[in-house]
A and B are shown apart, each in its own frame.
Chain A
């Protein structure tokens, strides 16, 4: 692999995870806020709210994981390595 390709791949891998973490981070914050408000309003529903919250967290997290998959492909199985 020539040096410009490897440099670009490493930078792109960092950006893929870093930028991909912004959106889900905001989303998880919003979801957690909603859950805390829900629990404060109705403490007896805590178990149900927690289950739903964790499930939706995992969905949001998978968006960052897609970025991570792209980063891993760039680092370990680079199609442009030649």
Chain B
């Protein structure tokens, strides 16, 4: 039989393959494989085509250099067993709690520096540390309302943290649209699994945002603040506002008056209590940050300080997802929570340390060097893949600003079969689970964004670098949870809606009579 996976080399290379363990498919992928094997290549290609055109029709797009493209979605979903995901949930929640504690410490007394867990200069030299945010205390203590902790699966199949995103993590909209699209592209497979749903995310987020409202506001007004339609993630901003049922505002729709933030409406200014902002810190308030910013609203920071409005996520969160701080996070977890990290970091050298720098500069051609405040895969140099000139260039940069870089061994990201050019090939993936903190609990969306590097062997998965995505299925455990209640209510039969003459006639004899009449007319029969 012409199996889709006949020539698939998975499970034999250096990287961990999530579908094949060298011999056969892992149990979680059994049903997925069966469906795909029972399909002809042409049928599969047709479904892939339908998938893409449905994304273009819905406007699920991503902006790359000003060009609007359909977000590439692979047809084969990534399956994560419930057991593995429980670990992820615990690990992500733990990390978020530690980072929350760290942030409230950093912008308050700084006990963590006094206790020598992390040097103060690490924070002070971070470009994301904002003095303007010092001693702003969010009403319910939450600064990281939404976070995306990027995970990878190493050679042994263990999930590890690659980086933290606690500023404005994006991509959650694709988790929801991917699920809908795959459900209609692979209905058979979908029906044969019990997959934990992801559609509840907007309601969770809204509940968390409402819980964060200033004290004394019973019915808070929540808005989503977007930089505007030209932003790459505008689709996501609109989707979140739409599914939460809140206004999507731009900076020019807001104004600050006497410490309160108002939005301009046809009924005059109306107060805003919680702003889920998708604008970077630097652009948020021209009074405190970039004076030339047109995207923010002057006075926002002061309004937040006076407690009249809550910004989610809080200003200055960037210190916690700085890649240099990342190296200290396991220590922070032990320090604040007294727990061992559930999810380990990837081994990392801080180039600011002289010893580490020396070692790394010797082995520059076999390591990955990353700028500490980069995002979207910008500025990353992968040693084995870089040219001589690139490495020399990098060496100069590292010597000039060692604080700005970290180095990691080349981790082979795990692979999942991906349908490219009519055949299945292994492609590297990562996972960004999203967590929502409402102040009492950190909830992790069951699933997350699986990003996949579409070029063979490519290790950078960011969509701005030509990456795609996969739907991520977390299987519901069979043993966990209470027994489900079955619907036993049976509906009373209702009267059918009135049929009307046409339906009745379609089944009665009148039309034959009229036809008879017609045929007699045609034959010039008896004149009446």
The reply to whether chain A is a binding partner of chain B is: no
